[in-house]
Amino acid sequence: MNTEKEIKRITTKALSLLKKKGIKITALTAYDFITAKLIDEAGIDIILVGDSLSNVFQGNETTLPVTMDEMIYHTKAVAKAVDRAMVVVDLPFMSYQLSVDEGFRNAGRIMKETSAGGVKLEGGERVAETVRKITQAGIPVMGHIGLTPQSIHQFGSYRERGRNKEEAEEILNDSKIMEEAGAFAIVLEKIPASLAKKISESLTIPAIGIGAGMHCDGQILVTPDMLGLNLEFHPRFVRHYAKLAEKINSAVKKYV
C-alpha cells in the first residue's frame, strides 16, 4: 500500500499521516501557473508561494520588499494550477509584526482572495499569539524557525542558527510553542542536523527542513535553486537536480 499515492489532495491531516507513517514530505516553491502545474503533476506535497519571490523573481537582495498585494497576485496564479498539493503562502514582512489583529486580518485576506490552503509566518514565541488567533479562525498555519530571512538585518548574516547551547534551546522551545499555538507544521531553516533531529522527534507535527540535515520529516527547497536556474547562487545544502540555466542559454542561442 502506497499511502502517498492514495492521497488525492494534500491537507493538514494528510501531512500528519505522512509523518506518522515515516513517509518524507516534499515541498518546493512556485510563483507562477506553469511552474506550479509542473511540480504538482510531479507529485510534490506542498507548494510554497514564498516571499523568496522577492529574491528570485524580482531580483531583490532580501525578502523584505515583497508586498501583500504581490503575494496575493502570485498565489492566485499558483492556486489555479494545483490539483493535489497543499498551497501555502508566506505572510510578507510587516504584514503580521505590528499586531496580532493585523496578522489575523492579512492571513484572512490571503485565504479569502487566493484559494490557498494555509499561510506561513516566521518566528517562535513572539508570534505565538498571532498563530493562535489565526488557527482559531480555521486557517492552517505553518511556522518557520531557525534562520528566519525576514530578520536578516537583526541577524547580520545568513549563517547557521542554533550552533551554541543558548540558541539551540531557544529554537527547541520555539518549536514546542508553535505546536502548542496550533501550527500544523514547521520549517526548520539552517540549523544543525542534530538539533533538527531532536525537534522532529519531539513534535507531533511535521518538521520540514531546509539546510537542516536529513532527519526532518520532509524537505523544502527554492525551485529555481534546485533546478540550477541560478548557477551563481549555490548554497551547500542545495543539490542541483538539473542545470536548466545552461539548457535555456543553449536553446536561446539556437533560436537566435
Domains and CATH numbers, the chain: 3-221 (3.20.20.60)
Containing H/E element for 119?
Answer: strand 118-120
Is residue 1 over pLDDT 50?
Answer: no
Among 36, 223, 19, 118, residue whose Cα is nearest residue 4: 19
Catalytic center residues:
189
Q: Phi and psi for 135 in degrees, rounded to 5?
A: -70, -30
pLDDT tens, position by position, 74-127: 999 999 999 999 999 999 999 999 999 999 999 999 999 999 999 999 999 999
Site of grid cell 496578522: 103
Give the burial string for 142-155 (b: 16+ CB within 10 Å, else e).
bbbbbbbbbebeee
Is residue 237 over pLDDT 80?
Answer: no
Q: Which of 81-85, 151-155, 166-170, 251-255 bottoms out in mean pLDDT, i.e. has the lowest?
A: 151-155
Question: CB of 212 within 8 A of CB of 196?
Answer: yes
Longest CA–CA separation in the chain, Å? 57
Is residue 136 over pLDDT 50?
Answer: yes
Site of grid cell 497576485: 73
Cα–Cα distance, 253 to 255 (Å, whole number): 5
What's the mean pLDDT when you consider all of the chain?
A: 95
Q: Could you tell me how many residues make up the chain?
A: 256
Is residue 231 over pLDDT 80?
Answer: no
Average pLDDT (69-75) is 99
Give the type of residue at 203: L
pLDDT tens, position by position, 195-216: 999 999 999 999 999 999 999 9
Query: How do beta strands 25-29 and 141-146 pair?
Result: unpaired
Is residue 2 over pLDDT 70?
Answer: no
